[in-house]
């Protein structure tokens, strides 16, 4: 059985003052049965873990190597040392801005698992790919090539984020979300057997308090990876609450 996860990705937003939002979330009465994760910028990970209480803290990327001459990069071991327990990998913004391939994502995922972090592996099609009828082929190929053979429900989360729905206000409709999540679950169980049922499947792309409830009602949606609406506790809290009652 996959665990429910409400994950917030602050992307390149936030300074020390923003930690008041995390503080507010951490001191609120979080519902049982939902894991809550905030992934702030790398500069805030260590400070965030000091005040996070029941909220897990994650990085937004890591290098595939544990250490070395890689100026500007952060290793999975470093995130772990700073108190992180998760790391987002293969976000479409990393894939497009930094040329990350599925092979890169798989190598990073292996590094994250070796460091003891839970990897939130992101996949998703572009609008051109959807309009060409390639959605399931694209996400299936990304899933297969980005996950290592050692992935389990305890070590890996998969986030389906249609690129065209990220930060655009355009949300995939429930039928589109359901089709992809059912497909991903089948792919996971084909490859990992019963363990594939334990991998949490998140939807991401313009999730807001107003649409979270209906999205969480879709089969095989175990939570969300939320960008903009995770920056304020007042927006993220109702999304967490909607997941709890789904």
119 binds ligand G3H (CB under 6 A): no
* Residue 10 assigned to a binding site: yes
Return d(Cα 131, Cα 127) in angstroms, integer: 6
21, 93, 110, 161: which is the annotated catalytic residue? 161
The residues, ordered by sequence, that sit 6+ positions from 4 with a Cβ below 8 Å of its Cβ are 33, 34, 35, 200, 222, 223, 243, 244, 246
Tell me the CA distances in angstroms from 162 to 45, 48, 93, 202, 234, one per residue in order.
Answer: 27, 29, 12, 12, 25
* Residue 204 assigned to a binding site: no
List 153, 162, 178, 228, residue binding ligand G3H (CB under 6 A): 228
Q: List the interface residues with ligand G3H, window 167-186 (CB under 6 A).
A: 167
207 binds ligand G3H (CB under 6 A): yes
14 binds ligand G3H (CB under 6 A): no
Check if 91 is active-site.
yes
Nearer to ligand G3H, 77 or 112 (CB): 112
Return d(Cα 237, Cα 104) in angstroms, integer: 33
**Is 220 within 8 Å of 241 (Cβ atoms)?**
no
Query: Quick one: which segment of 45-53, 66-74, 159-167, 181-189 binds ligand G3H (CB under 6 A)?
Result: 159-167
Closest approach of ligand G3H to the CB of residue 226, in Å? 5
* Residue 9 assigned to a binding site: yes
Q: List the interface residues with ligand G3H, window 52-111 (CB under 6 A).
A: 91
Nearer to ligand G3H, 8 or 77 (CB): 8
21, 91, 100, 110: which is the annotated catalytic residue? 91
* Residue 99 assigned to a binding site: no
Tell me the CA distances in angstroms from 42 to 125, 130, 200, one per residue in order.
Answer: 27, 33, 24
SS3 state at 130: helix
Closest CA to 214 of 161, 153, 172: 172
The residues, ordered by sequence, that sit 6+ positions from 129 with a Cβ below 8 Å of its Cβ are 135, 138
Return d(Cα 158, Cα 189) in angstroms, integer: 13
Closest CA to 202 of 221, 187, 217: 221
Check if 181 is active-site.
no
List 9, 135, 187, 200, residue binding ligand G3H (CB under 6 A): 9
* Residue 237 assigned to a binding site: no
Return d(Cα 22, Cα 195) in angstroms, integer: 32
Find the residue with minimal CB distance to ligand G3H: 227
List 58, 205, 215, 241, residue binding ligand G3H (CB under 6 A): 205
Which residues are part of the catalytic machinery? 91, 161
Contacting positions for ligand G3H (CB under 6 A): 9, 91, 161, 166-167, 204-207, 225-229
Annotated binding-site members for substrate: 9-11, 167, 206, 227-228
């Amino acid at each position: 059985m996959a665990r429910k996860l409400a994950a917030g990705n602050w992307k390149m937003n936030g300074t020390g003052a923003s930690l008041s939002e995390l503080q507010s979330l951490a001191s609120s009465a979080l519902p049982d049965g939902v894991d809550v994760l905030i992934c702030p910028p790398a500069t805030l990970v260590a400070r965030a873990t000091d005040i996070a209480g029941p909220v897990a803290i994650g990085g937004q990327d890591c290098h595939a190597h544990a250490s070395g001459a890689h100026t500007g990069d952060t290793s999975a071991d470093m995130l772990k040392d700073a108190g992180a327990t998760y790391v987002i990998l293969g976000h479409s913004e990393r894939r497009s801005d930094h040329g990350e391939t599925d092979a890169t994502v798989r190598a990073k995922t292996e590094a994250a698992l070796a460091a003891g972090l839970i990897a939130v592996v992101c996949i998703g099609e572009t609008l051109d790919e959807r309009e060409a009828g390639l959605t399931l082929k694209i996400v299936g190929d990304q899933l297969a090539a980005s996950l290592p053979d050692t992935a389990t429900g305890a070590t890996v989360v998969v986030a389906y984020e249609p690129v065209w729905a990220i930060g655009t206000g355009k949300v995939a409709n429930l039928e589109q979300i359901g089709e992809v999540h059912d497909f991903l679950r089948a792919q996971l169980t084909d490859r990992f057997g019963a363990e594939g049922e334990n991998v949490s499947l998140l939807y991401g792309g313009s999730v807001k308090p107003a649409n979270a409830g209906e999205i969480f009602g879709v089969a095989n949606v175990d939570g969300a990876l939320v960008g903009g609406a995770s920056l304020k506790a007042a927006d993220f809290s109702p999304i967490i609450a909607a997941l709890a009652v789904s």
